[in-house]
Amino acid sequence: MKFLTIKFLLLALLAFAAFASPEAEPVHEAASSHKDETYKAQSMGEMIQGFAKSTGIYAILYPDPNELSSHGEQMSDFHKSWGRVLMILVTFLLFYLAIAKGYEPLLLLPIAFGGLLANIPVANIAGVHGFLGVIYNMGLANEMFPILIFMGVGAMTDFGPLLSNPKTALLGGAAQFGIFGTLVGAVALSQYTNIFDFTLQQASAISIIGGADGPTSIFIATKLAPELLGAIAVASYSYMALVPIIQPPIMRALTTQKERKIKMVTRRHVSRLEKLVFPIMVLSLAIMILPASTPLIGAFMFGNFLKESGVVERLNDTLQNSLINIVTIFLGLGVGSKLAADQFLVVDTLAILILGLLAFSAGTASGVIMAKIMNLFPGEKINPLIGSAGVSAVPMAARVSNKVGIEFDRSNMLLMHAMGPNVAGVIGSAVAAGVMISIFG
Amino acid sequence: MENLVFEGFKFMALGMGTVFSFLILMIGAMNLQSYIIHKFFPDPAPLSGAGKAENKNAKIAAITAAVMHHNNAKS
């Protein structure tokens, strides 16, 4: 019996070896020629020299002329050497902003650390077989992670404030002007200057920053212009963190003292059934009008429906906490892999940062202006300060509206009124994203 | 080469048009939904509150009866 087992094992081994050898051969040859070099009997001095050549310092000082980027393309010497050092310093700056200044640390920290790892020479962590590359291909290249995040965001969103005052949804629509205004700006920039050359796809991916919605930006960027993903994601999340700094001056500039003091009537009660029907209703509209937007809206409404159903508390809890946390880690690291020097240290990045800021400001301004336009019509008056919350950035933008409102009238609580346009802005940017997807197919 | 800026403006018209029509439809649907729900499925919250109060009264009555019965039985 023992012999039989051994025989069988031997047979299996032989079969495996026979099976594996034809495939393994070319690799073996390539490896053996390499091994011949390194496995020659070496003197101690040679060994130390060889080791020294494999250090990071050597790789940065004397970049390997044959090294390819994670896309398998040629890189300039700068991007292989000092560009990497510079990018590592940039990630340190992002660490500082995330930790000391509290700028969206949940995403900025994983992104920045991913960027740090992606810029390590020799190790090639962001390459196809490095773990960052694996994460990127696992969930970002196929737009999976932003969708999962959207489910979690849906489970965290309360549509009550919007349902109690439906017309404020228009503010969330107006703020999307930031997206399309910037689109025109980006194509004008590439049309009339020789420095930048954005295609329409790239211009659209950049302008979606104006939607102030991280997952949507990442979704569109990976679909339309994956080469710009790193810069777009960093710009998007940095500006979202900067909402309390960017928005108030624009809001003050566009409103009068009297308008800022407008008090809005108390909201009516919203029944549970209304909240339960709402996600299905919006999804049905999306199905009829813009099916291209249903990946985003569908995931969003799925999360919200689970929450409002009230019978799947466990799933709701997982979406809001565990799932979104896990995906955030992967999403951050995957985006960070696009902070490699050869992709981030290009002039396009500068344009993206500037255009992103422009998109944000334009969105804020058009939300406020829309509220002023709505006040020209008879009916209940709207405080224009809540217009700025139409750029999504939930719930930061709504808090900013509230804060500016309190500055001028201590008793004026705008937070709940601002949540209406705020969540409408999320739907608005998902629709805008759907339009772009439907245009480019 | 065709004028990209003009293309951009076309995108803007289509995009903003879609966003606004979607949201306007959504507002209409929200108003309709709220009308229907308030008319045909009024919020059971106040009703259930009253129901609870009734329940409470019934419970108190039952407890009182039980205590009375207990006391009567004792004496």
pLDDT tens digits, B44-56? 655 444 445 556 6
Give pLDDT, residue A35.
52
Q: Compute chain A's Rg from CA coordinates.
A: 27
Q: Above pLDDT 90, what percent of chain A?
A: 70
Q: What is the mean pLDDT of chain A?
A: 89
Distance (Å, whole) CA A145 – CA A327: 6
* Averaged pLDDT, A164-185: 93
Choose the closest CB to B7 out of A162, A200, A436: A200
Interface of B with A (CB under 8 A): 3-5, 7-9, 11-12, 14-16, 18-27, 29-31, 33-34, 37-38, 41-43, 45
Give pLDDT, residue A12.
56
Confidence class for position A73, pLDDT limits 50, 70, 90: confident
- How far does the CA of residue A289 sit from the closest CA of chain B (Å)? 8
From chain B, the residues in CB contact with A428 under 8 A are 19, 22-23
* Averaged pLDDT, A391-403: 90
* Averaged pLDDT, A243-263: 93
Chain B contact present for A274, CB below 8 A: yes
* Averaged pLDDT, A206-217: 92
Give pLDDT, residue A5.
59
From chain A, the residues in CB contact with B11 under 8 A are 180, 183-184, 200, 204, 435-436, 439
Give pLDDT, residue A27.
46
- Judged by CB atoms closer than 8 Å, whether chains meet at A269 and B43 is answered as yes
Distance (Å, whole) CA A111 – CA A333: 5
According to DSSP, the residues that pair with A14 across neighbouring strands are: none
The one-letter amino acid code at A425 reads G
pLDDT reading at A111 higher than 50: yes
Q: Per residue in A320-372, pLDDT tens?
A: 999 999 999 999 999 999 999 988 999 999 999 999 999 999 999 999 999 99
Distance (Å, whole) CA A242 – CA A415: 19
pLDDT reading at A19 higher than 80: no
Give pLDDT, residue B24.
96
- Judged by CB atoms closer than 8 Å, whether chains meet at B19 and A187 is answered as no
- How far does the CA of residue A251 sit from the closest CA of chain B (Å)? 22
Confidence class for position A319, pLDDT limits 50, 70, 90: very high
Chain B contact present for A177, CB below 8 A: yes
Structural contact between residues A299 and A151, judged by C-beta atoms closer than 8 angstroms: yes
Give pLDDT, residue A11.
55
Question: Which of A61-70, A213-222, B55-64 has maximum average pLDDT?
Answer: A213-222
Give pLDDT, residue A119.
93
Structural contact between residues A233 and A239, judged by C-beta atoms closer than 8 angstroms: no
Q: Per residue in A25-54, pLDDT tens?
A: 444 445 555 555 556 778 899 889 989 988
Distance (Å, whole) CA A319 – CA A154: 9
Give pLDDT, residue A77.
85
From chain B, the residues in CB contact with A282 under 8 A are 26, 29
Q: Choose, out of A167, A207, A267, A271, the residue to mutate when testing the contact with B (most B CBs < 10 Å).
A: A271
- Judged by CB atoms closer than 8 Å, whether chains meet at B22 and A272 is answered as no
Structural contact between residues A54 and A48, judged by C-beta atoms closer than 8 angstroms: no
pLDDT reading at B75 higher than 70: no
- Judged by CB atoms closer than 8 Å, whether chains meet at A281 and B8 is answered as no
Question: How far is residue A324 CA from its own chain's centroid?
Answer: 13
* Averaged pLDDT, A48-63: 90
**DSSP alpha helix (H) spans, B1-75:** 4-40, 44-74
Give pLDDT, residue A66.
81
- Judged by CB atoms closer than 8 Å, whether chains meet at B5 and A188 is answered as yes
Q: Per residue in A142-151, pLDDT tens?
A: 999 999 999 9
Smallest CA–CA distance from B3 into chain A, residue: A191
A–B interface: beta-carbon pairs under 8 A: 121
From chain B, the residues in CB contact with A173 under 8 A are 16, 19-20, 22-23
According to DSSP, the residues that pair with A74 across neighbouring strands are: A68
Smallest CA–CA distance from B14 into chain A, residue: A435
Give pLDDT, residue A36.
55
- Judged by CB atoms closer than 8 Å, whether chains meet at B12 and A180 is answered as yes
Distance (Å, whole) CA A163 – CA A264: 15
- ipTM, 2 dp: 0.84
- Judged by CB atoms closer than 8 Å, whether chains meet at A285 and B27 is answered as no
- How far does the CA of residue A355 sit from the closest CA of chain B (Å)? 15
Structural contact between residues A163 and A363, judged by C-beta atoms closer than 8 angstroms: no
Chain B contact present for A276, CB below 8 A: no
Give pLDDT, residue B20.
96
Question: How far is residue A54 CA from its own chain's centroid?
Answer: 35
Chain B contact present for A426, CB below 8 A: no
Better-predicted residue by pLDDT, A326 or A7 = A326
Smallest CA–CA distance from A433 into chain B, residue: B15
Structural contact between residues A360 and A239, judged by C-beta atoms closer than 8 angstroms: yes
According to DSSP, the residues that pair with A68 across neighbouring strands are: A74
